[in-house]
Amino acid sequence: MPKLDHPPRRPTHPVIWCICATCGFLAMLVVITGAVLFTSYMVIHPHVPQLSVGFAKLDHFEFDQMSFLIVRVIIILKAENDNEKATASFYETEFNLDFEGNKIATLGADTFDVGSNSTLELHYETPSKKITLGPQESDVLEIGVKQNEIEFGLTGHARTRWRIGPFESVKFWLRLECKLMLPVDKSPIYPRCTTRSK
């Protein structure tokens, strides 16, 4: 019976062994890193940081027969981080203050951090700005003056993420839609407006 001749097997090249070993090491490193992050998340269970309106006041108010409105509003935003072991970063912060769709001011901030289980206050004083109102807007304002309460809108967004050592979480959008019913007599209010995460 004839015998089949098999070609001699070539030894595996050392480079192939190195590539396989490197891939195995990287795969193991990814698994370990994922396990560490998952364990850290389950142990710490971080909450999404939030922004809220802590204080608002109509500091200056003028309205004449020519339907010109001039206001100055003081607002304090509170950046809250309820995580006991994670630092929170806030960035791309931008909120618009308006009356009946007429923009009064933009409230922004550079990137900032809030330590674990801490709160940071952002103080804003919008500059006086003359706004020309239409007939319907003037009527709304006059009603508000009679009731000693004018409604302003504060809307906008910010982004946030928490950080534990070298590890950072995914990024979250924080969106705010708040009605500020400000007394004409300059009394302060303490709204319960808080951002919603997305």
Please answer whether residues 53 and 178 qualify as being in contact, where contact means their C-beta atoms are separated by less than 8 angstroms.
Answer: yes
Fold of 50-197: Immunoglobulin-like (2.60.40)
Q: Which of 10-14, 24-28, 67-71, 92-96 has the lowest mean pLDDT?
A: 10-14
List the structure tokens of 133.
């109102």
- Sequence spans of domains, the chain: 11-45, 50-197
The more confidently predicted of residues 32 and 77 is: 77
Which residue in 151, 181, 165 sits closest to 86, CA to CA?
165
pLDDT for 10 equals 60
pLDDT tens for each residue of 37-75 = 555 555 545 689 999 999 999 999 998 878 899 999 999
Phi, psi of 76 (to 5 degrees): -120, 120
The more confidently predicted of residues 13 and 181 is: 181
C-alpha distance from residue 86 to each of 17, 91, 158, 165, 170 (Å): 41, 16, 19, 8, 13
C-alpha distance from residue 29 to each of 38, 183, 197 (Å): 14, 60, 32
Coil vs helix vs strand at 53? strand
pLDDT band at 167 (very low <50, low <70, confident <90, very high): low
pLDDT band at 13 (very low <50, low <70, confident <90, very high): low
pLDDT for 169 equals 73
Please answer whether residues 96 and 156 qualify as being in contact, where contact means their C-beta atoms are separated by less than 8 angstroms.
Answer: yes
Phi, psi of 149 (to 5 degrees): -160, 120
List the structure tokens of 125.
């004083």
pLDDT for 26 equals 75
pLDDT for 37 equals 56
pLDDT for 19 equals 77
- Give the contacts of 82 (CB within 8 A, at least 6 positions apart): 47, 49, 117
pTM (predicted TM-score): 0.76
